Structures are given as structure tokens and as C-alpha cells.
Structure 1
Amino acid sequence: MIIGMGSDLCNIERIQAALDRHGGRFEQRCFTEVERAKAARRPYTRAGTYAKRFAAKEAFSKAVGTGFYRGVYMKDIGVVNAPSGAPTLQLTGGAAKRLAEMVPDGHEAVIHLTLTDDHPWAQAFVIIEARPL
């Protein structure tokens, strides 16, 4: 059953402006080490790489119904790739705690994530499924 759904649209140029203005401070505050390493390997599409991940974090915060409140922080939500290459989320801290609170007993959470971009926009959709164990 679906227990959460969220989407977000992010302007790549807005992320580039934040990178230009705040540089490493913005990256450290919002993105995990894995996300920063991936963006560093993509110098020509760095802002787009970050924008998709920023949108994914926003979409997750909407899917769990908190926004960035109740202990859910951007750095607790990391975009990683499954062995198949598909994007998914790795959660820590308050984000993991909030997700655990939502999952009914006898179920496990499965996060579905899709990312796309077409300059100047990046978009993410998150669906959280509770799957019986």
C-alpha cells in the first residue's frame, strides 16, 4: 500500500546561484558526502546533479508529511543508486525515524524515486510503499 507520495520541481539556475554565492557551505549543509562526490565527477552538470538531489529531498519531506521539521533534515536524506543503477534514498537520523513511525507493524518501507531534468528544471517524485513482510 502507498503510505506517502511527494514531488518537487527545482530550478537548476537557483541551485547554481546558491553554489556561486555560498559554495562549499551550501554543499556541506544540504548534501551527503556521496552526493558531493557524484557532483564533483560531473563538472559540466554539477548544478543539475545537485538540483535533482535537492528536489528528491524536498519530495521525500512532503511524502512523510513533515517538510523539514520534526527532526527531518536535508543531510539525513541522501540519493544513492541501487545495484541496478536506479536512484533511491538512503535515510539517517530524523528522516529514518519519521519513516519508521509511518510504517505499519508487519510491513517494511520501500521507497520509489524518479529523477529527471531538462534545463532549467529538475524534478523528483517519491512514493513510499508499505510492503508486508
Structure 2
Amino acid sequence: MIIGIGSDLCDIRRIEQTLERFADRFTKRVFTEIEQQKSDKRAQRAASYAKRFAAKEAMSKALGTGLRMGVAWKEMGVVNLPSGKPTMQLTGGAAERLKSMIPDGFTARIDLTITDDYPLAQAFVVISAWPADWPMNPLEN
């Protein structure tokens, strides 16, 4: 069953300006180490950060909290499954919020899609609850 849905659109030019103006101050405040390492390797560095920024915004909307109620930027990080599919890894208040949304006997699944077409980056998040004994798709492991 679907528990939460979120979407966000981000202007890559805004992220370019922020990176030029604040550099590490911005990236260290908003992004996890994994996200920084991945984005800093990209030729389109600002687009990579913009997609991850949009994913965090979309995730906070799917959680129903926005960036408040104990949910912080670095508690939501884009990670890739071994298949390459992106998903979100939650810690701290974001993980606690997710846990509170999932009924007993169910497990959470976060589906994420991110894309960009300059000057825009976009993300969609769907949080669903699956029975704990339900076999997950082996292609995603």
C-alpha cells in the first residue's frame, strides 16, 4: 500500500549559483558524504547536486513533514542499489518518521526516480508498505 508520495522540481542554475557562492559550506550542510563523493566526480556536478536536492525535498514531502518536525537534510541521502537503481537511505528523525508511518507487520519500501534536463532537475518519491514476509524483487538487491 502507498503511504506517501512526494515530488520536486529544482532549477539547476540556482544550485550552480549556490555552489559558486557557498561551495563546501552548502554541500557539507545539505548532502551526505556518499552524495558529495558521487556528485563531485560528475562532469555535470551542479545537475547531480540538483537531482539530489530535489530528491530530499520530494522525500520530505512524502514523509509529510517537510524539513521540520525533526527531519533534517543530511538524514535523507540518495544511494544506489547494486542494480544502479536510486533509492533513499534515511537516518535520525527521518528514519523515525518513516518508522511511525509503517503499520506493524509491514516493511517500508522507498522508490525514487531522479532526472534532469537543463535547466531543471526533478525527483519523485513513493513510500509504500509491504508485508514483512513479502519477497522483494531480487533484481533490486
TM-score, normalisation: structure 1: 0.98
Q: How far apart are residue 53 of structure 1 and its match?
A: 0.2
Q: Who is 1:115 aligned against?
A: 114
| Residue 80 (structure 1) aligned with residue 115 (structure 2) | no
Q: What RMSD in Å do the two structures reach over aligned CA positions?
A: 0.5
Deviation by residue 1:75-107 (Cα, 9 ceiling, x = unmatched): 000000001100001111111010001001110
Query: What are the within-5 Å matches in structure 2 for residues 41-80 of structure 1?
Result: 41-42=41-42, 44-80=43-79
Q: Who is 1:103 aligned against?
A: 102
Q: Who is 2:135 aligned against?
A: none
Q: Who is 1:26 aligned against?
A: 26
Q: How far apart are residue 40 of structure 1 and its match?
A: 1.4
Sequence identity, in percent?
A: 62
Q: Which runs of 5+ in 1 are unaligned?
A: none
Give me the whole-angstrom Cα distance separating, in 2, the residues matched to 1:90 and 1:99.
11
Runs of 4+ in 1 over 2 A off after TM superposition: none
Deviation by residue 1:3-35 (Cα, 9 ceiling, x = unmatched): 000000000000011101111000000000000
Give me the whole-angstrom Cα distance separating, in 2, the residues matched to 1:58 and 1:106.
28
Give me the whole-angstrom Cα distance separating, in 2, the residues matched to 1:39 and 1:3.
29
Aligned length, in residue pairs: 132
Q: Which runs of 5+ in 2 are unaligned?
A: 133-141
